């Protein structure tokens, strides 16, 4: 029996989740947003600092446990924005010392994948589409390996930058999804898949030019951007499924909250007789529960750092999924 508290702070979201024996007891989060413009790392870190105690207390209340019941604290070590990661690490260290409990450093991307176990996916290939990250990941031979990825922008950032160009606020993904629903005309855009990888910056430039020309509606541009980019993502994911022989596709990351992406993923899986697994939206975008959930899996494999030894723990802003030794599988 273990109770693990998990802290997420890699980018725009500060979240704290609590897990007991694989069950999510609470998942409280607050996300930094802006009306115009993108994410400013220092501002997001300030947001986390100002909200962390509130979120912590709310998470304890929702989970109906006491501070003293916590067995270990896990936190997102990377990848992410350094000022934001530092807030999470600092809070994790404070709690560890106060409660005299061990710390568990968790890779953020792997947590998006591990939380997929809640859906009963056994050995999935994950299409991980978030703000900064876009990767196709699957477990093979002791590691989570990257079978394809973006060569430049994460698809969430792509959507957010497109929204910034339209001056419709951050995060842009949900607003673009709504605009796209009223789009009627498909406008031809570049389609950039290179082997197993894809590239989005050229498409963004092309869209910016189209916005500046004032010849196209935001609805049609949003619709066309989604259709093009989601098709690219699923082409790469499908090829990786064929290559690895995996029969399960798992969606992860905030962009997979998108209803059109879910629909297209469903069609692809049906066509190749594969099964699609989609966690609830609250577990798709950044959240503390996935950090707690992964923390518990690691804790049960005895991966933890005693509170007396946490001094040397650091953030890993550029940690890659395939650097990690997966010692718990």
Query: Binding residues for ligand AMP, per CB under 6 A?
Result: 11, 13, 130-131, 156, 159-160, 171-174, 177, 253-255, 257-258, 285-286
Q: Which stretch binds Mg ion (CB under 5 A): 65-73, 191-199, 270-278, 283-291?
A: 283-291
Half-sphere exposure of 279 (CA within 13 A, CB side): 29
Q: Does 286 bind Mg ion (CB under 5 A)?
A: yes
**CB-wise, 29 or 210, nearer to ligand AMP?**
29
88 binds, among ligand AMP, Mg ion, none (CB under 5 to 8 A by kind): none
**CB-wise, 173 or 183, nearer to ligand AMP?**
173
78 binds, among ligand AMP, Mg ion, none (CB under 5 to 8 A by kind): none
37: left (phi over 0), alpha (psi -120 to 50) or beta: left
How many residues bind to Mg ion according to rule CB under 5 A? 2
Residue that is written with structure tokens 């607050």 in the block: 30
Which of 9, 13, 59, 130 lies at the binding interface for Mg ion (CB under 5 A)?
130
251 binds, among ligand AMP, Mg ion, none (CB under 5 to 8 A by kind): none
**CB-wise, 148 or 288, nearer to Mg ion?**
288
Q: Which stretch binds Mg ion (CB under 5 A): 41-49, 130-138, 146-154, 307-315?
A: 130-138
The sign of the torsion formed by the CA atoms of 180, 181, 182, 188 equals positive
Task: Supply the minimum distance, in Å, between the C-beta of residue 11 and ligand AMP.
Answer: 6
Q: Which stretch binds Mg ion (CB under 5 A): 39-47, 126-134, 164-172, 230-238?
A: 126-134
292 binds, among ligand AMP, Mg ion, none (CB under 5 to 8 A by kind): none
Task: Supply the minimum distance, in Å, between the C-beta of residue 80 and ligand AMP.
Answer: 9
Q: Does 13 bind Mg ion (CB under 5 A)?
A: no
**CB-wise, 96 or 177, nearer to ligand AMP?**
177
160 binds, among Mg ion, ligand AMP, none (CB under 5 to 8 A by kind): ligand AMP
Task: Supply the minimum distance, in Å, between the C-beta of residue 224 and ligand AMP.
Answer: 15
**CB-wise, 11 or 103, nearer to ligand AMP?**
11
Print the SS3 string covering the chain.
Answer: CCEEEEEECCCCEEEEEEEECCEEEEEEEEECCECCCCCCHHHHHHHHHHHHHHHHHHHHHHHCCCHHHCCEEEEEEECCCHHHHHHHHHHHHHHHHHHCCCEEEEEHHHHHHHHHHHHCCCCCEEEEECCCCEEEEEEECCEEEEEEEECCCCHHHHHHHHHHHHCCCECCHHHHHHHHHCCCCCCCCCCCEECCEECCHHHHHHHHHHHHHCCCCHHHHHHHHHHHHHHHHHHHHHHHHHHHCCCEEEEECHHHHCHHHHHHHHHHHHHCCCEEECCCHHHHCCCHHHHHHHHHHHHHCCCCECHHHHHHCCCCCCCCHHHCCCCCC
**CB-wise, 15 or 102, nearer to ligand AMP?**
15
Q: Which residues bind Mg ion (CB under 5 A)?
A: 130, 286
């Amino acid at each position: 029996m273990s109770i693990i508290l998990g802290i997420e702070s890699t980018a725009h979201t500060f979240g704290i989740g609590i897990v007991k024996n694989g069950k999510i007891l609470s998942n409280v989060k607050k996300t930094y947003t802006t009306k115009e413009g993108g994410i400013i790392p220092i501002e997001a870190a300030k947001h986390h600092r100002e909200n962390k105690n509130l979120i912590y207390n709310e998470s304890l209340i929702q989970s109906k446990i006491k501070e003293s019941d916590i067995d270990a604290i896990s936190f997102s070590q990377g990848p992410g924005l350094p000022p934001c990661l530092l807030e999470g690490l600092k809070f994790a260290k404070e709690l560890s010392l106060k409660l005299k409990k061990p710390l568990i450093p968790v890779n953020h991307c792997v947590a998006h994948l591990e939380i997929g176990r809640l859906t009963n996916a056994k050995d999935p290939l994950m299409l991980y589409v978030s703000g900064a990250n876009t990767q196709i990941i699957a477990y093979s031979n002791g590691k989570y390996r990257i079978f394809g990825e973006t060569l430049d922008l994460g698809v969430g950032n792509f959507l957010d930058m497109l929204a910034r160009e339209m001056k419709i606020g951050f995060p842009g993904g949900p607003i673009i999804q709504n605009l796209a629903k009223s789009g009627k005309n498909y406008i031809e855009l570049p389609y950039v898949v290179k082997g197993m990888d894809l590239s989005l910056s050229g498409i963004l430039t092309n869209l910016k030019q189209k916005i500046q020309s004032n010849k196209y509606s935001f609805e049609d541009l949003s619709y066309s951007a989604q259709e093009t980019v989601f098709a690219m993502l699923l082409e790469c994911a499908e090829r990786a499924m064929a290559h690895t022989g995996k029969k399960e596709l798992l969606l992860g990351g905030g962009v997979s909250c998108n209803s059109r992406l879910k629909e297209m993923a469903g069609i692809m899986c049906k066509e190749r007789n594969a099964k699609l697994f989609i966690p609830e939206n609250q577990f798709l975008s950044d959240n503390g529960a996935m950090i707690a959930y992964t923390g518990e899996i690691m804790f049960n494999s005895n991966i933890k750092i005693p509170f007396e030894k946490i001094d040397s723990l650091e953030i890993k802003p550029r940690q890659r999924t395939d650097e990690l030794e997966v010692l718990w599988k």
